[in-house]
Amino acid sequence: MSGGAITFRFATPDDRLILHQLFHEAEIHYEGRNAPSRGLVAAHVDGDVIPALARCEILLAESAGAVAAMASFGQLYPAPNLGGQIQIKDIFVRDGFRNRGIGAAIIRRLAALALERRCTRVDWTAETDNPRAIAFYDRLGVPRVESKVYFRLDGETLKAFAGGKK
């Protein structure tokens, strides 16, 4: 395929009709004959996706009148079953507040928020060199996703890739 330069922009609420089409095509690609109807996809885009464009949030947890923890997260689309997903970037519990159930409480609150927003899942990662975090998530009974591989562009690799050098 040849042609002119490729340009980019961010989707806005004015793009709702093309988002209807793109999401429906993606559902057909991934779900085949089990894909939801175009009307259901359109309702999902209008009710969930459009309001969530550019959403990034920080949830604070307070205890004894002080901020004890925070979770930064975003709501992403598409996700399975015409839902969104909450992607947690970071969970942090301050010294002096650890081992009091606050970490579990903030994750449970995010899970409840996901359900309130009609999201179908909550995802996050843990660094392999942070065994305490991994053990914590294991104690909570949160299943690991062994079928995913995590990729990252950063530093010089990010610059080179963005510049077309890789």
- Residues of the chain with pLDDT > 90, as a percent, come to 70
pLDDT per position as a tens digit, 23-56: 999 889 888 999 999 999 999 999 988 888 877 8
Q: What is the pLDDT of residue 3?
A: 61
Label residue 12 exposed, middle or buried (CB < 10 Å: 0-12, 13-18, 19+): exposed
Q: Torsion over CA of 34, 35, 36 and 37, rounded to 10 degrees?
A: -110
Q: What is the pLDDT of residue 1?
A: 46
Token pair recorded at residue 148? 């995913």
Chain centroid, CA 49 distance in Å: 13
The rounded average pLDDT for each run of 10 residues, N- to C-terminus, in the chain (166 residues) is 67 91 89 93 91 85 91 91 92 91 94 94 94 95 93 92 86
* Integer Cα distance of 22 and 18 in angstroms: 6
* Integer Cα distance of 63 and 148 in angstroms: 35
Q: Which fold has domain 55-124?
A: Aminopeptidase (3.40.630)
